[in-house]
Amino acid sequence: MAPRKQKKEPKRPAGNLSAVIENAGVMVEQPIASTLEKNYMPYAMSVIVSRAIPEIDGLKPSHRKLLYTMYTMKLLTGPRTKSANVVGQTMKLNPHGDQAIYETMVRLARGCEALLHPYVDSKGNFGKAYSRDMAYAASRYTEVKLDPICEELFAGIDKNAVDFVPNYDNTLQEPTLLPVRFPSILVNSNMGIAVGMASNICSFNLGEVCDTTIALLRHPNHDILSTLKAPDFPGGGYILYNETELRRIYDTGRGSVRIRARYAYDSSGNCIDITEIPPTTTIEAIMDKIADLSKGGKIREISEMRDETALTGLKLTLDLKRGTDPEKLMQKLFRLTPLEDAFSCNFNVLIHGMPRVCGIRELIQEWTAFRSECVQRRIRFDLQKKKEKLHLLQGLGKILLDIDKAIRIVRETEEEREVVPNLMIGFGIDEPQAEYVAEIRLRHLNREYILNRINETDQLEKDIAEMEATLADPKKIRAILIQELQEVSKKYAKPRRTLLYYPTAEENAPLEDDTPDYPVTLFFTQEGYFKKITPQSLRMSGEQKLKEGDIVAQAIEASNNTDLLFFSNKGKVYKGRASDFDDTKASAMGDYIPAKLGFEEGESAIYMAVTKDFKGYMVFFFQNGKASKIELSTYETKTNRKKLLGAYYDGVPLAAIKQIEEDQEFLLKSSNGRLLLIHTGMIAPKASRTAQGISIMTLKKDAVLESAVPYEENMLPNSHRYRAKSIPAAGAFLRPEENQGQLTF
């Protein structure tokens, strides 16, 4: 046998492999718009539609898949099962990790206390919504079943009330929505962050929601605020009632409500027990904030703070110092800590697959339309079943007119498969009717059975007529909705947990500063050390203790409530108050300002300004002979900001910084020995803190402005020689006979 000829491979070109692969290594330009459309937009839509935004049944897909899985596992009526079992079964519908599914279950569980009406009846440790550190146990330890209220979520789901779609691998069917019998979208809070949008729906009292929905079904122009008083949160507390803001939320779906913690004062132990907090915070966040305020000296009335949360519920205890007014302290804590916080509402809901921000009225209308469709589909399902049964009984009625004939046909038929066709021919009935007749037991061929079937036929005809009339009349559908809402309200409604609080004008007044005010002397050294010494301590003190080589640059008599501005060598200013620093003695080194106020590395403090009303000016003298005058009020802030950038122009080295209450004269000295006496009234204030300033002293080449000091009478013998009539001015040299050794800089 001749050997087979081997097929020659095409000759590859020498060189780089990219010559073989078409367009390898070639950079192709692609419009950014098309890239976003092909890659990013599908992802964004998936997050919005299939993950983060709830639908009109009040559930996100992850919630719905979990609850429906538990429903199919017979956990609505059966005993509890391990959470791990539910998580594993849910993964057949939810293609995410087991931890994500379990976290969803935790939030729905009664033990977490995150919902007004939990959907999962839990046993074991599910953490707490009001604590960030109280972690939930693993799914293998906890047990769950559906809460009884879930009966209202699944009512009619087995009667074609909602659509079903295949799961992700097309092996199971799952509902697109649950046929909820009450507006669950408003009853349980829901928060989600999608791509480019978010949803944050607060919870409302179930009884109030049902009453409002019933009122709107009866009177479309009903005033919602008359029945839906305000949101209701599972953590309780107080809502600071604001009718204008609530109406805005109800109309637009956007706005915020303020929630305040609930507390009680225990006079026997001189302590405050906080038992309910806003839903937007945690007990640890509150404790951290109170601790920070105590360290900063803004709260001095608390001697000890304890977290006494136990099985009985949340409890934060604040031990008070003797003589503390608890009401006044709590008003301060409400202003300064998350014990009073705002819940921002954003009623963004998926309506027919499209995200839409809705007000309360619109949400209830959309739910009413959805629930009406569910009821109609359920009635049509029952109607079809009754029609089918009536059809079978009508065929049976024909047979019962001549039972002997039917028996004879069956007995005389030789083959079993011919029984049904022969009955169809003998009585003029169709195949389903003949099948039904053929399956009748011999014991049922008696008078009682026949009469019961005839009576049942009459009842079926009445039921069918009633169902068809209901489907044709929207008023009857509304009556069914109202009846269902009344049943739900009667069965599951609970008193409000969050009470309404009407704030008074006194509470809205600015918080009084109760920091003790007394005279002090403030010392600031050239190296950046600060001391605050009382007059009594100063009288009893000896020489000031300073770092070696350091000198006192400023000594100012002020009070304990004085504001302090520390200017740094990098064009920044750091703010504080004298009360932020402890009283000290002359024998102490004092506080190192860069460390105390958190200066950056390599940054030092060069000047201290002291003020109570932020009146006056800051004057900056630069080595290039320019000066800038800035109103001190530009450094005042409404918030408690500790650092301001751009305190002054830092493009040129400074010669001096001075704080003045009103315009005055300054004596300037250049490096070549010239002196100039100017009045700051000649310098116009600048609106910008970082302004470069205006020229005030004309300098020779290589000369710089060396210093600037406030001028005092008789500092110069012939001051008129040095006083500038206009700026810039060159100044004059000091005559030998004028220098008596008294002039120092």
- The residues annotated as belonging to the active site are 141
Of the candidates 598, 614, 603, which has an alpha carbon nearest to the alpha carbon of residue 650? 603
Nearest to 208 by CA among 185, 231, 191: 231
Tell me which H or E stretch contains 617: strand 617-622
Distances (CA, A) of 358 to 184, 252, 596: 15, 6, 50
Place of tokens 């909602």: 162
Residue 188: CB partners within 8 Å, gap ≥ 6?
58, 115, 116, 117, 119, 203
Beta strand pairing status for 705-710 and 665-670? Answer: antiparallel
- Residue in this structure with the two tokens 């890659």, named with its chain if needed: 39
The separation between CA 94 and the C-alpha centre of its own chain, rounded to angstroms, equals: 26
Q: What is the residue whose two structure tokens read 């201290």? A: 608
CA pair distance 192, 201, nearest whole angstrom: 9
Angle, CA of 690, 693 and 695, to the nearest 5°: 160
Helix ranges (H only) for 496-654 are: 505-508, 535-540, 593-596
How many Cβ atoms are within 10 Å of 110's Cβ, its own excluded? 17
Give the contacts of 121 (CB within 8 A, at least 6 positions apart). Answer: 80, 109, 110, 144, 145, 146, 147, 148
In this structure, are residues 525 and 547 in contact, taking their beta carbons and an 8 Å threshold?
Answer: yes
**Which of these, 618, 579, 580, 620, lies nearest to 598 by C-alpha position?**
580
Q: How far apart are the first and last CA of the chain?
A: 117
Q: Where are the alpha helices (DSSP H) in 503-643?
A: 505-508, 535-540, 593-596
Q: Which residues contact 551 (CB under 8 A, 6 or more apart)?
A: 525, 526
8 Å CB contact between 222 and 215: yes
Helix (H) / strand (E) element for 294: namely: helix 283-295
**Measuring CA to CA, which residue among 331, 363, 332 is closest to residue 345?**
363
CA 264/CA 639 separation, integer angstroms: 31
- Structure token digits, residue 667: 């004596």
The 3 state secondary structure assigned to 561-572 is: CCEEEEEECCCC
Angle between helices 83-90 and 98-108 (to 10 degrees): 120
The DSSP secondary structure of 59-107, one letter per residue, reads --HHHHHHHHHHHHTTTTTS--EEHHHHHHHHTTT--S-HHHHHHHHHH
Phi, psi for 371 (deg, rounded to 5): -70, -35
Angle between helices 419-427 and 431-438 (to 10 degrees): 110
| Residue 495, token pair as written in the block | 């008193």
Report how far apart, in Å, the C-alpha atoms of 652 and of each of 449, 570, 601, 632, 644 are. 111, 11, 21, 21, 19
Question: How far lies 67's CA from each of 86, 317, 318, in Å?
Answer: 9, 38, 41
Amino acid identity at 362: E
Longest dimension (CA), the chain: 155
